[in-house]
Amino acid sequence: MVLILASGRQICLDTVEGATAALKDGGQAIIPGHSADSKSISRINSDDPELIMTPPETKRSLSLREISLLTKCIKQRPEWKPHWTLIPTQNHVVDEIADDQNEID
């Protein structure tokens, strides 16, 4: 997930490095365990049209439930994992099939 700031700078929120990187204007988008200090939460809750996420011209907004979930997630120190499509598959041992198969098999 990429967040594009008003300055045009992109923040990659799907990696811990991107989400916790220092921002030009100070702070971090996400500070694990500290949602109140995380810039993303302060911008989501902002009344300033220049700062609020998402910008009013997009005509999109987060519901109170979504804001609550994001805030709770950051407070609980989220664990970043690679997207499931980027995790290599693993070979699993398959049980042997019995020779005495029935009609259904």
| pLDDT by position in tens, the chain (length 105) | 666 655 666 667 777 888 888 888 888 988 999 999 999 899 899 989 888 888 888 888 889 999 999 899 999 987 777 778 878 888 888 777 666 666 665
Please tell me the pTM assigned to this model: 0.65
Residue 63 backbone dihedrals phi, psi, to 5 degrees = -75, 165
Q: Which residues contact 81 (CB under 8 A, 6 or more apart)?
A: 87
